Amino acid sequence: MLLAFAVVCPAAEKEAAPAAEPLLGDEADGSLAQPVHRIPLLTDEGDAVVPGEEPMLAFSMKQTCGACHTYSAISGGWHFNAGDPNVDPGRPGQPWIYVDWATATQVPLSYRDWPGAFKPEQFGLSTWAFAKRFGLHLPGGGVAEAEPDDMGEMGRQIVSGKIEINCLGCHHRGPAQDQAEYAAQILKENFRWASAAASGVAAVSGSAAKMPPTFDPLMPDVITDPKLIPQVPKIAYHAGVFDEKNQVFFDIVRRVPNDRCYYCHSSINVTAHGNEKWEVDEDIHLTAGMTCVDCHRNGLGHNIIRGCEGEGAGHLAAVSSCEGCHLGGHDGIPTAGRLGAPVPEHVGIPTVHFEKLACTACHSGPWPGDVTARVKNSQTHLLGVRGVNKAADALPHVEHPVLAKQADGKLAPHKLVWPAFWGVMKDGDVEPVGIEVVKTAVGDSLKGSAYSPVGSWPQFADANVIEALGKLGEKVDGEAVYVCGGKVFSVADGKLVGKDHKAAQAYLWPIGHNVRPAAQSLGIRYCTDCHSTKEGFFFGKVAISGPIEAVRGTTADMATFAGVDPTLTKLFAMSFVFRPMMKIVATAACGVIALVLLLFALKALGVVVAAIVGKD
Amino acid sequence: MFRTVSIAGFVALAVAMVVHAVSCKAAKGARRASTCGAGPLIAALGKLAGFVVLASFAVLVLTGFWPRVVLKEAICGYGLMLHATAAPVFIAALAALAVLGADSNRLNKSYLPWLNKLLGRKGGDGEALERFELSRKVCFWLILMLALPLAMSIVLSMLPLFGTHMQEVMAEVHRYSALAISLVLIFGMYLYVRARA
């Protein structure tokens, strides 16, 4: 009955104002000034939060913000629509990376159809489990609000609440906005309370995760177990937060401050800098005074401009890419130089480079070295979360920069992760096996392996893996395999054998940031910044890592990912030794030819002059 | 555009050569005299330079026009490397040929009587003209003149002097001067072969 009700009426609670007519905040009036948000707080039932009421309830973003901004219009935006199969997935982006140390699993996940990324359900992750796992850096909405199919999970969602779109996570400029607190509340499954706790206007205690399935936040006093009473989720609004009209002031801004973006979108080159932020220069655009949202804009629909070339999201998207801002669009009216963007001259760069390379190839990410560097990202490594593992070698291992072709055929730097998971080979394809199934099947086979104290790869002995594959093979229909380091490992004649397979291919996503200053772009010195066998652009190595000895410490050639002929590339790079000589020879030869032409032209002129004056 | 112009140019050249061959069948000229008063070594060097020019020209034409005109793609890969290797050989040999052959290609005879009349000049010594002599000499000087933009457009584009727009201009200069020099050189070779026949 409950399930039928949930299927028929997915939004059982009171909805915000229907979208038949635009709400107060849906349309701008043209003023560039920022409206002041002194607003009543509404619970997820749509009731006003009044100080002194018992029990005090957390305010709902959907109801509070939704009173003036149509929530359904916003929830179709790029940050929230990953689970919508009707949305064009666009260019592959950063995946969620599912890590399980016990089974040495490291897989890129996405609800979008990005080639090489796996769907969460392939590893047994329901939307509820996904929200619990990755909600720390989820903006809310979308799959985080989805109704679970499993009755048990549905019950948990009733206890915890849904992870609504956390509007304040982006739009609240107030210095007390604490996304680390948001993450802490998500870890406790306090989904209903997380936004309020992070907003800085309230403190939340307790943990919904510890509550029984029958817990009702409207009647917290039904919990009588003295051990559970301290764990009952409670919210206490800070003194002085409410004014005389029971309204609360939020410093809401349309132009999201960089710090809000940084919580989910930070990355740091841990090979070069460890975790030391002070050693790292920001993206040159930010250093120049721009903000993230100067380029990554959106309207009410929150279809944020990603800023990549060829993004088919209208004229503003076209002029918000690298080329769009710096070189302008091609539809008549000049648009180059937007936001003060310098128009590049690219002196001395043959135009073929602009056909074969994306702007980011020369301008973004770290300078290519002999080997790729390890990078940590907010979403993949829980940066900004209290108590996070800060070790540089903590899983997942993400490498960069890797030169590879984008969908448009241009070479660009990418980040890369090598998938590692247990699977079953069927008809030539490898299907992942759920983590819990693996743990149950494999059991003690992997015990005794050397587990890393810093959270890096465990070191599996071949014998352990062979035993584990044997046990897994008894539970699955097909040949049990383990994928890692670009290879699929199976047992053949009692030995662990690794083979290439498309399921083991690395997942790559293009790097946009950090953009280096022009004086640090590739090619600024000479052609040999790239066209040299001593430089990493074409001739670097991509680090491979995994728990199996056969892949530990190995590398792959950058040329493989770039899709270039390594022999030709090497010969071409070596030919640059002769380039200065070629210029000198050609210039000297032209000089000789010019002198010959001049000499005989002067002689001819002499003949003409003589003829004119009558001296033949 | 360049592809179309190239195809039109080569087709026009082929037609012109056929028409010329048919219409100039009966014309004869004096046997070709020694090219200059220089010794056999210089003559041999001149022939060597000519041979090198032709050989490198063949490589350049093939590697330069085939991708653009036939495959409709930019020159790249091993073709580009061959092209870049043959180019300095071509221009160096052409410079040598310019020095060695300039004097023998002087326009110092009475090629155009009407021009003599216009300039009020006496005619030459009545020295017999070789077959297609004027045309061959004009081709020689045109090749030298076209070699300058051909080579310098590429050399200058390799220097950190010019931005993207000028790089495109210089690439176009290189393409069209390559087309022009190819047509002139091929026609010049045709005239040379016919003169020898």
Cβ of residue A598 closer than 8 Å to a chain B Cβ: no
Residue B69: helix, strand or coil by DSSP? helix
Task: Name the residue of chain A whose CA is nearest to B116's CA.
Answer: A611
| Alpha-carbon gap: A612 to the closest alpha carbon of chain B (Å) | 7
Cβ of residue B94 closer than 8 Å to a chain A Cβ: yes
Q: Which residues pair with A430 in a beta bridge?
A: A425
Identify which of B120, B151, B161 has the shortest CB distance to residue A347: B161
Identify which of B80, B121, B148 has the shortest CB distance to residue A593: B148
The overall average pLDDT reported for chain A is 91
Residue B141 CA to its chain's centroid (Å): 8
B154 contact residues in A (CB cutoff 8 A): 586
Give residue A12's pLDDT: 34
B74 contact residues in A (CB cutoff 8 A): 352, 355
A589 contact residues in B (CB cutoff 8 A): 88, 91-92, 94-95, 151
A594 contact residues in B (CB cutoff 8 A): 148
Position of tokens 């549905």?
A: A154
C-alpha count within 13 angstroms, C-beta hemisphere, residue A456: 15
Does B161 contact A348 at a Cβ distance shorter than 8 Å? yes
Give residue A76's pLDDT: 93
A579 contact residues in B (CB cutoff 8 A): 158
Cβ of residue B21 closer than 8 Å to a chain A Cβ: no
Phi–psi pair at B59, nearest 5 degrees = -65, -45
Does B119 contact A611 at a Cβ distance shorter than 8 Å? yes
ipTM of the complex: 0.91
The C-alpha atoms of residue A510 and residue A524 are separated, in whole angstroms, by 22
Please determine, for residue A277, whether its predicted confidence score (pLDDT) is greater than 50. Answer: yes
Write out pLDDT tens, residues A85-124: 999 999 999 999 999 988 999 999 999 999 999 999 999 9
Does A589 contact B94 at a Cβ distance shorter than 8 Å? yes
Task: Name the residue of chain A whose CA is nearest to B84's CA.
Answer: A582
Please determine, for residue A149, whether its predicted confidence score (pLDDT) is greater than 70. Answer: yes
Does A583 contact B167 at a Cβ distance shorter than 8 Å? no
Give residue A125's pLDDT: 94
Give residue A3's pLDDT: 39
A588 contact residues in B (CB cutoff 8 A): 95
- Residues A562 and A403: beta-carbon distance below 8 Å: yes
The number of residues in chain A equals 616
Does B76 contact A593 at a Cβ distance shorter than 8 Å? no
Give residue A467's pLDDT: 93
Does A616 contact B88 at a Cβ distance shorter than 8 Å? no
Cβ of residue A577 closer than 8 Å to a chain B Cβ: no
* Total Cβ atoms within 10 A of residue A51: 12
pTM for this entry? 0.89
Superfamily of the domain at B2-22+39-196: Transmembrane di-heme cytochromes, Chain C (1.20.950.20)
B121 contact residues in A (CB cutoff 8 A): 611, 616
**Closest by Cα among A380, A308, A300 to A80:** A300
Burial of A474 (0-12, 13-18, 19+ CB in 10 A): exposed
Residue A548: helix, strand or coil by DSSP? strand
Which of A196-210, A448-462, A542-556, B22-36 shows the lowest mean pLDDT across its residues? B22-36
Does A590 contact B91 at a Cβ distance shorter than 8 Å? yes
Does A568 contact B145 at a Cβ distance shorter than 8 Å? no
A600 contact residues in B (CB cutoff 8 A): 102, 106, 141
pLDDT tier at A275 (50, 70, 90 boundaries)? confident
pLDDT tier at A7 (50, 70, 90 boundaries)? very low
Cβ of residue B76 closer than 8 Å to a chain A Cβ: yes
What's the CA angle centered on A19, arms A13 and A20, to 5 degrees? 125
Please determine, for residue A209, whether its predicted confidence score (pLDDT) is greater than 50. Answer: yes
Give residue B74's pLDDT: 85
Cβ of residue B14 closer than 8 Å to a chain A Cβ: no
Does A354 contact B78 at a Cβ distance shorter than 8 Å? no
Give residue B104's pLDDT: 86
Give residue B26's pLDDT: 52
Write out pLDDT tens, residues A454-502: 899 999 999 999 999 999 999 999 999 999 999 999 999 999 999 999 9
Give residue A604's pLDDT: 87
Identify which of A350, A571, A590 has the shortest CB distance to residue B152: A590
Does A354 contact B74 at a Cβ distance shorter than 8 Å? no
The tokens of A44 are what? 């997820």
Cβ of residue A592 closer than 8 Å to a chain B Cβ: yes
Q: Where are the domains of chain A?
A: 2-89+118-165+174-250, 578-616
Give residue A445's pLDDT: 83
Residue B160 CA to its chain's centroid (Å): 30
Sign of CA dihedral B183, B188, B193, B197: positive
Identify which of B78, B121, B171 has the shortest CB distance to residue A568: B78
Distances (CA, A) of A76 to A131, A137, A295, A439, B5: 18, 18, 20, 37, 52
B167 contact residues in A (CB cutoff 8 A): 346, 349-351
Give residue A2's pLDDT: 38
Please determine, for residue B161, whether its predicted confidence score (pLDDT) is greater than 80. Answer: yes
Does B162 contact A348 at a Cβ distance shorter than 8 Å? yes
Please determine, for residue A5, whether its predicted confidence score (pLDDT) is greater than 50. Answer: no
Residue B41: helix, strand or coil by DSSP? helix
The average pLDDT across B73-96 equals 93
pLDDT tier at B125 (50, 70, 90 boundaries)? low
Cβ of residue A553 closer than 8 Å to a chain B Cβ: no
Does A604 contact B107 at a Cβ distance shorter than 8 Å? yes
Cβ of residue A214 closer than 8 Å to a chain B Cβ: no
**Closest by Cα among B184, B173, B167, B168 to B150:** B173
Question: Residue A12 is which amino acid?
Answer: A
* Total Cβ atoms within 10 A of residue A503: 18
Chain B stretch 149-168, residues whose beta carbon is closer than 8 A to a beta carbon of chain A: 151-152, 154-155, 157-164, 167-168
Please determine, for residue A213, whether its predicted confidence score (pLDDT) is greater than 50. Answer: yes
| Alpha-carbon gap: A339 to the closest alpha carbon of chain B (Å) | 22
Sign of CA dihedral A547, A548, A551, A552: positive
- Residues A485 and A544: beta-carbon distance below 8 Å: yes
Please determine, for residue B31, whether its predicted confidence score (pLDDT) is greater than 90. Answer: no
| Alpha-carbon gap: B162 to the closest alpha carbon of chain A (Å) | 5
| Alpha-carbon gap: B38 to the closest alpha carbon of chain A (Å) | 18
Please determine, for residue A356, whether its predicted confidence score (pLDDT) is greater than 80. Answer: yes
Cβ of residue B107 closer than 8 Å to a chain A Cβ: yes
DSSP A420: B
Task: Name the residue of chain B whose CA is nearest to A348's CA.
Answer: B160
Write out pLDDT tens, residues A50-61: 998 889 999 999
Write out pLDDT tens, residues A394-436: 999 999 999 999 988 999 999 999 999 999 999 999 999 999 8
Write out pLDDT tens, residues A150-174: 999 999 999 999 999 999 999 999 9
Q: Where are the domains of chain B?
A: 2-22+39-196
Give residue B134's pLDDT: 86
The average pLDDT across B159-180 equals 94
A347 contact residues in B (CB cutoff 8 A): 160-163
Cβ of residue A7 closer than 8 Å to a chain B Cβ: no
Cβ of residue B33 closer than 8 Å to a chain A Cβ: no
The average pLDDT across A597-613 equals 88
Please determine, for residue A10, whether its predicted confidence score (pLDDT) is greater than 50. Answer: no
- B103 or B147, higher pLDDT: B147
Give residue A19's pLDDT: 52
